[in-house]
Structure formats: C-alpha cells, structure tokens
Amino acid sequence: MFKYEILKVCGQSGARIGRFTTPHGEIETPVFMPVGTAGTVKGLSPEELKEAGSQIILSNTYHLHLRPGEEIVKGAGGLHKFINWDKPILTDSGGFQVFSLTKLRKITDEGVHFNSHIDGSRRFISPEKAIEIQQALGSDIMMAFDECTASGTDRRKSKEALDRTLRWLDRCDKKATGEKQILFPIVQGNMYADLRIESIEKTLPYAKCGLAIGGLSVGEEKPVMYEMLDALRPYYPNNMPRYLMGVGSADCIVEGIVRGIDMFDCVLPTRVGRNGMAMTFEGDITIRNAPYKDDYSPIEEGCDCYACKNYSRAYVRHLINAGEIMGGRLLSLHNIRFLHRLTEKIKDAIRADRLLDFRREMLANYRIKGVTT
C-alpha cells in the first residue's frame, strides 16, 4: 500500500521529484508538511489547508495520548475521521516532546518515565507503547520512538543515545505490523559525522518505504546541520523518501532539497504567524511593526493565498495589534501557502535542471537573519 516512484532527477543538483503513494492518497515530493500537534493546524480548517496546497499533515503521539487519549480517537474511527482530514497523516512518536521535557523525564532502556505537562501525572512510554498509540490513532506514517540529544551533547552521551535509539527501533519494528501503516526509522548521532554514518548504516535495514533524519535543528548553527546532511547524503536509499524532521525555514528547505531531502515539517509558519510575522521570498517581515500601519499592499506581491488576495498589510497589522484572532489566522495561512509555493518553485527548477541556479537567485534576495523593523 506504500510506494515511492522517482519522477524526475535534477541534472544540476541530483535533487528529485517523487510520488509517494499511501492508503490516503499520493504525495508529490519535495513536500512541506504543516504540523497539527493536537489534531489541528492551529487556527486553520482542513478545507483551508487543502486550498493552500497541503498534501499531508502531522499530529503528535505524545500530545494526543495525553489529551484526548488514543482510545477516544480510535472510537471515532481513527484520526482521519476524528479531525476530518482525508489525506495522509504522519504521527511523530513523541520522542522529541519527551526530550523537550528535560527535568520532567527519566530515560531508561525500557522507555521514558515522565510527568505530564498538563496535570503532572506520572506517565511511561516505551517503544512498544509509542507504536500502540500510533496504531490506535491510525496514521499512515508512524515514527519510531527515538532518543534525541541537544546540540552540544558530548560524544559519549550522543553514542549512548544512538545505541539506545537503535535498540528501540528494533522493538518498534517488531510491534509495527500491518499493511495500512508504515514505520519510518530515525537517524540520530548528534553533530558527529561518523556517528551519523554509523546510525544510518544500522538504521537502513529497518527502512521499508521511508527514512527520517532526526536530532537536527535543535540549536546548532545552520552550517553544522548542512555538514551533517552532506555526510549522510551518500548513504541515502534511492527508492524511498528522506524526511528531515523539524525544519521549516525557506533557506533550510532549499538547502535540504539540494542535499537530497524530500520531506519537511515544522510549527514555524503558524507559530511566527500568530506572533505577527510573515514569510516571504525576501525574508521574514514583522507585520505588527509601525512601518506597515498605512501599507495597503498585500502581505507579499504575487502571492495567491486568500490573505494576500483579500487583505492589506495595514489591515493584518491592525488585527495583530488589536489581539484579533483573525490576524494570526491570515498570517498562518499565508505562511503555509508560502512554503507550498516555495516547494512548487523548487520542483519547477528541478524539472528545468536548474535547482542550483534557483538557490543562488533566491538566497541573493533572501534576508536569512534580517527582519524588517
């Protein structure tokens, strides 16, 4: 029920366009996947996401396990029916969220003991439990339960986490039976190229139709992330999609695709949107700031999203500063559409065998760190 076909390889960069077939439809890669942590992409309806071009969304095992509980979702007929989304769904295993709890969790070989961030109750998730939750949710793509380490973690601890992730992967694989869901294993290794290579070599036997790169975009500088992707690229399988977890800025998506990545996800577009920031092909702009109070142009010239076709920067700024929910909704919608437009332009460049030219042209006009004030 899962298949990946390569439709075009860029002669200039080696990046590719692919068709990933799942039980709930086809996904054309490269693809950005909006994040609906608790079963909804914040502030946006499924219909709005589809209109913006979303092919697949993510939800999170940890959050749905705590609230409302996987049995509630299963009773509704699974996550697709529960949230009214008939396209593919990927569920994160919860490993990163547990990692983020820091002082509220204890990691052992058996699994992770942690305190709920909601009510403080003591909980436990093992690799088997993470798969059981995802099976109850009924997502198309399940993620293996892994141990993520922060940037700056020393080599010894990074190797311990890598080894534990591999042991957990074997247990996840034994539990992840059935044809309607596929398990993506996750490569770890922190910022050590040799550990990354060791991880991917030992992970590949478990990769049936997808492979994820985890533990990046966790505080390291972007050139370090690119260095790790460069080290991994010779080891990627050709017959399945490669997924870089937690990455959603325009420059990182372009650089990732040049380095052979097919799938991306991040909460960034909706998070910054709710805080008054718009993503554009010239970089991020802070709409809430004073220069836009009488700017009657769209959020971004040439954008075909609902927000840009109907409203001005001045109006969106007014909504954000007045605390109106609509402001965050409009910017979230624009930002998600922007990332879909970006991947569409990248696919056009791949078809024309000029992705490296596109990258150079785009980044020449893109303010990576600059924010208009």
Catalytic annotation, residues: 92, 265
Would strands 16-22 and 25-29 be described as parallel, antiparallel, or unpaired?
antiparallel
Tokens of 56: 């697949």
Tokens of 292: 């836009």
Torsion angle defined by CA atoms of residues 186, 190, 192 and 197, in that order, rounded to the nearest 10 degrees: 0
Full DSSP string of 298-335: -SSTT--SHHHHH--HHHHHHHHHTT-HHHHHHHHHHH
* Nearest in space to 320 (alpha carbons), one of 291, 297, 272, 287: 287
Strands (E), 126-258: 141-143, 182-184, 186-187, 211-213, 242-244
* Nearest in space to 100 (alpha carbons), one of 83, 88, 112: 112
* Nearest in space to 168 (alpha carbons), one of 154, 192, 196, 147: 147
Alpha carbons 116 and 121: distance in angstroms, whole number: 5
Torsion angle defined by CA atoms of residues 168, 73, 32 and 9, in that order, rounded to the nearest 10 degrees: 70
Residues 6+ apart with CB under 8 A from 248: 32, 264, 265, 266, 267, 268, 269, 339
**Residue 242: φ, ψ to 5°:** -115, 130
Alpha carbons 276 and 43: distance in angstroms, whole number: 14
Alpha carbons 100 and 325: distance in angstroms, whole number: 28
Cα-based angle 337, 271, 281 (whole degrees, multiple of 5): 40
Would strands 367-372 and 283-286 be described as parallel, antiparallel, or unpaired?
parallel
